[in-house]
A and B are shown apart, each in its own frame.
Chain A
Amino acid sequence: DGGITQSPKYLFRKEGQNVTLSCEQNLNHDAMYWYRQDPGQGLRLIYYSQIVNDFQKGDIAEGYSVSREKKESFPLTVTSAQKNPTAFYLCAGSQGRELFFGEGSRLTVL
């Protein structure tokens, strides 16, 4: 099936550890995005990439890093510098303006 696949769905991390969230797509989308969702705050853009080997910071990039080595893949690393990493993370792809979302990854820091 075509779509955006995120893994893992649930992830637990100890403070001070980096963690990488996977996002893969087989929709041939040029652009990919990472959003963070917290209750009552909607979706906030972390990073986005419009082409392979290029990406831009979104509104809340501090403490996060990404790579875009392949069109199909856009992993997000939550580093130990992110002060409040517990959240629901959503990856999306787009061709034009319409976003197609994955199922999300819920990260909990213990």
Chain B
Amino acid sequence: AQSVTQLGSHVSVSEGALVLLRCNYSSSVPPYLFWYVQYPNQGLQLLLKYTSAATLVKGINGFEAEFKKSETSFHLTKPSAHMSDAAEYFCAVSGPLGNEKLTFGTGTRLTIIP
């Protein structure tokens, strides 16, 4: 079974500063990893996904994540935070089979300080 752990339920950064949201995974097979974003009272939207093609994955809104097998990590970063980045972010994992369900982390709420 796969699982993910998101370190830090709340993260605050200043506008223009680096955003770093942490995600560590546990999987006995090569994982597929995802980051989703949720704005208040809305559904989740896919930011980016790792599917073994490349370890550095670029997503929407300037976000990117790097798959590090040695650290079992898939941290989400953005060089310069914008006020519109304030939201909740979820890391998720599934196994290599096409019909496997996603398992989500508990989420990290990102606050941007003006």
Contacts and interface: CB of A to CB of B under 8 A. Distances in A.
Interface in A68-108: 88, 90, 92, 96-104, 106
> Chain A: interface secondary structure?
strand
Interface residues of A, number: 26
A2 interface: no
Given A42-B106, A45-B101, A48-B101, A97 B43 contact: no
Interface of B: 9, 32, 34, 36, 41-46, 49, 51, 90, 94, 98-102, 104-107
Interface of A: 4, 6, 31, 33, 35, 40-43, 45, 48, 50, 58, 88, 90, 92, 96-104, 106
Nearest to A43: B104
Contacts of B104: 35, 42-43
Contact of A104 (B43, B46, B51, B105): B43
